[in-house]
Structure formats: C-alpha cells, structure tokens
Amino acid sequence: MYHNILVPISFDDARDMPSALKLAQLLAAPESQVTLLHVVEHIPAYASAYMPVGYLEDARKAVQAELDALAENISGARGVVVEGHSGRTILDWADVNKPDLIIIASHRPGMQDLLLGSTATHVVRHAACSVHVVR
C-alpha cells in the first residue's frame, strides 16, 4: 500500500484516466493522500495576445473544478493545477512533495514518440519513486 500517490491527469481521450484513478484507489493505504495533478502548458506570448481577456484564468478554474469532481470519488484525494512543461513539471512537483508512487496514463506509442518522447516516458526515466504506467 502507498501513502502518497501522484496521478497526473490529462483530459486527452487517448489516455485511460479512469483506469489510473481506479488503480490509485486500489493501491492507496487507508489514510493515504492522492494528488490529481494537471499541468497547463505555457502558451506563447504571440498566441496569448489573440485570446480573450480572462481566458486562461477561466480555463484554469474549469480544470480545477474537473479535478475537484474527480477527487470527490477518491478518499483522501485533492486536485492541483500547475503551469509548465508536463514531464518536467510533474517531476519537479514530485521532487518537492515526495510521492511514493506516480500512476500515469499513457497512450499507445507511435513514431512521433520514438523521435520526441512522451510525458510518461520522461517521468518513468527520471522519477525518484515508483512509477506505474496505465495503458
């Protein structure tokens, strides 16, 4: 059983988020903390100039509401929204908060992943704790 579990959440349909959440529930100790972490990628300045005023803040609030709704179904869970590059930011958050397990959903790798890498691959290669990849 794990006591501090990190579950990075991507709302991409290609990833099996429900299975990752179910696994977190199965592996969590009775008094564990489960963090549902969503990373909002930085938007380049040239692109943000074309967005409506308040768009980023509204989007962040909507994502937080989605995470909070998911967390309601998991004992000891909370949702956290951060900004940055997904792979690096997940690892930075883990370095500070010291989870003993990261459960990350992944898509089936394709040619683009062989050339560029994926978030799950980056986390698996560089995490200081156990990582469980769900496909």
Q: If you average pLDDT over every residue of the chain, what do you get?
A: 91
Domain ranges for the chain: 2-134
More confident residue, 128 or 16: 128
b/e sequence 93-129, b meaning 16+ C-beta within 10 Å: bbeeeebebbbbbbbeeeeeeeeeebbbbbbbeebee
In this prediction the pTM is: 0.91
The pair phi, psi for residue 12, each rounded to 5°, is -75, 130
Q: How many CA atoms within 13 Å lie on the side-chain side of 120?
A: 21
Q: How much is the pLDDT for 60? A: 94
More confident residue, 132 or 108: 132
Alpha-carbon gap, residue 124 to 133, rounded angstroms: 8
User: Which of 122, 135, 91, 104 is CA-nearest to residue 8?
Assistant: 104
Q: How much is the pLDDT for 13? A: 76
Helix (H, G, I), strand (E, B), or coil: what is residue 44? Answer: coil
The pair phi, psi for residue 122, each rounded to 5°, is -60, -45
User: Which of 124, 61, 133 is CA-nearest to residue 104?
Assistant: 133
Domain 2-134: give its CATH architecture: 3-Layer(aba) Sandwich (3.40)
